[in-house]
């Protein structure tokens, strides 16, 4: 199950959001050892103060196991304001039909269900949720800052990243920025590779809506 949480529903999902910040701490601070802002056992930064949309994935028993943050590029973004060095001198996206994704994180047990190429089904489901979100808002693409490891995962899932510029080393990460196409065709590929039979968001987006 993937829940879309926006500013109007923050209060109703306060416990879910707290669990999401804890998941981000486990992934980005403990597992990846990124230089991130933390508060106790939670990870959050200034972009969480901009009323982003969150996709939060939960297991059948209610445990938060995945998340991604989404912000419009018409306002502050990580690629513009934190990592402009990844743009290769090009301007940052500034388009109502392009949103930025960040803080994509999955934390599932090793014996979790798998889709094609050995990727966790939860990964495919969160990718599908991002695409459904984008189609519902008639986006052309989602821009993201990621690393080469995640770039390979996206390619294996059928959602290849279009690089804006060559990767750069930031801390202990080989990072890059790029665009992810938002289209019904890509959603079909991701659903097929992940053995996903239909919409994953509570507010469904059907292929015909694109």
Per residue in 127-177, pLDDT tens?
A: 999 999 999 999 999 999 999 999 999 999 999 999 999 999 998 889 999
| CATH, range 2-202 | 3.40.630.30
What is the Cα–Cα distance from 139 to 141, expressed in whole angstroms?
Answer: 6
Q: What is the pLDDT of residue 109?
A: 87
Question: pLDDT tens-digit profile of 49-77?
Answer: 999 999 999 988 889 999 999 999 999 99
Give the separation between CA 161 and CA 144, rounded to whole angstroms.
Answer: 9
Structure tokens at 3: 């829940």
Least confident residue range of 83-92, 112-121, 195-204: 195-204
Band (203; pLDDT cuts 50, 70, 90): low
Residue whose token pair is 């056992």:
41
Supply the pTM of this predicted model. 0.93
């Amino acid at each position: 199950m993937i829940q879309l949480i926006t500013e109007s529903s923050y209060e109703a999902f306060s416990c879910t959001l707290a669990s999401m910040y804890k998941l981000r701490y486990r992934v980005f601070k403990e597992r990846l050892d990124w230089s991130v802002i933390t508060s106790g056992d939670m990870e959050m930064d200034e972009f969480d103060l901009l009323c982003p949309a969150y996709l939060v994935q939960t297991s059948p028993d209610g445990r938060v196991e995945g998340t991604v943050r989404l912000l419009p590029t018409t306002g502050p973004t990580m690629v513009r304001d934190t990592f402009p060095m990844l743009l290769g001198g090009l301007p940052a996206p500034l388009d109502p039909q392009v949103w930025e994704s960040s803080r994509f994180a999955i934390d599932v047990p090793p014996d979790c269900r798998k889709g094609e190429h050995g990727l966790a089904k939860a990964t495919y489901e969160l990718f599908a949720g991002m695409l459904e979100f984008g189609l519902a808002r008639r986006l052309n693409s989602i821009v993201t800052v990621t690393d080469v490891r995640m770039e390979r995962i996206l390619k294996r899932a059928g959602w290849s990243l279009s690089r804006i510029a060559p990767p750069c080393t930031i801390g202990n990460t080989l990072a890059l920025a790029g665009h992810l196409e938002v289209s019904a065709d890509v959603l079909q590929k991701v659903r097929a590779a992940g053995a996903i039979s239909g919409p994953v968001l509570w507010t469904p987006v059907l292929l015909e809506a694109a």
